[in-house]
Amino acid sequence: MASVRSVLKFSFQPTVSKLRISVVQYLNTAPIVRGFTHGALQNKYDLSFTVPSQCAEALRTGAADVAIIPAIEYPRIVSQSVPLTILPGLAIASKERVRSLLLLSKLPIRQVRRIALDRSSRSTQALVKILAAQRWQISPEFVEADPDPAAMLANADAALVIGDVALRIAIAAETHVTRGPDVEWLTSGATIGIPAVPQIHIYDVVKEWWHLTEKPAVLAIWAVRNDSFPDNLVPAGLVADFLASRDFGLTQIAQIAAEAAREMRLPEKELRLYLEKNIDYTLDQENFQGLQRFWHLSSALGLTGPLQSVAIAAGPLVARKRA
């Protein structure tokens, strides 16, 4: 197992105010950056919004100083001699069921031979490959595709969809489902906007991960390029700002859900439930154990190289949650 070390610099450098932060533009990241977009930390940092894979690329190339990256990308980036430090207590995680990471299948999953993967995903692609090998015991062909569920299923037996597209499908399906043979959901394609497919099997990727490991899934973490700071050490003030942004966001869930409901034209109640119950914004002990298990299985499957050590900035191991 990789060793863990904590690093922190206590003098807060003036240049930190100009740090470039790359953020995933999905609903589930809104609470964690709320302090930067709507709170007391507005305009302190240079924020840019994109998809998960591009956040990782920005951090890897130095186009960003801090990014919320897919969990799979930490060992990949550090293996390229780019030292990174994880910000403590913070994550996009899910304890048991997430609703925004779905595998849609025309067949029972154990009969699938070709899976289309949303190309904007990194961690969820790895999760599906681990599940295929260890839970479903299949060896399908994997192909990357743009996040269009109907087009993906026209060219494959199953399709991985993530983010707001997947959440929209989950909300549409939930009142029109029965249980399938592998505890998946069964619904008609018409219910989720894919009328060309008579029946769809829907697998929640985090739920499937829980069946395999009995651990939470950590989907994304905040990571910092060490060379963005003097002496390659993360300032204490930066850690404090990111924790404060998240803590402010957790007091704003109702407002975030209301804003998203108007924009996405989805029920506000369902979006609030998603943010409050399906997503966990901490890197507590349980989540960190799930993250380590994910890294171990990814390495065993050849999706990453071995991870020798993990650098985490000093701070709370169990972050404060909203009451």
pLDDT digits (tens, 9 = 90+) for 70-121: 999 999 999 999 999 999 999 999 998 999 999 999 999 999 999 999 998 8
**Domains of the chain by start residue, with CATH:** 3-93+216-313 (3.40.190.10), 101-213 (3.40.190.10)
State how beta strands 309-313 and 3-7 pair: parallel
Contact 135, 208 (CB under 8 A): yes
Q: For residue range 42-76, what is the model confidence (pLDDT) as tens digits?
A: 999 999 999 888 999 999 999 999 999 999 999 99
- For the stretch 237-260, pLDDT in tens is 999 999 999 999 999 999 999 999
**Rounded Cα gap, residues 320 and 323, in angstroms:** 9
Give the Cα separation of 22 and 13 in Å (integer): 20
Cα separations in angstroms, 276 against 120, 254, 262, 280: 24, 9, 18, 8
Within a 10 A sphere around the Cβ of 199, how many other Cβ atoms?
Answer: 13
Helices 236-250 and 253-264, interaxial angle, to 10°? Answer: 70
For 107, the token pair is: 């067949």
188 touches 179 (CB < 8 A): no
Cα–Cα distance measured from residue 177 to residue 167, given in angstroms and rounded to the nearest whole number: 15
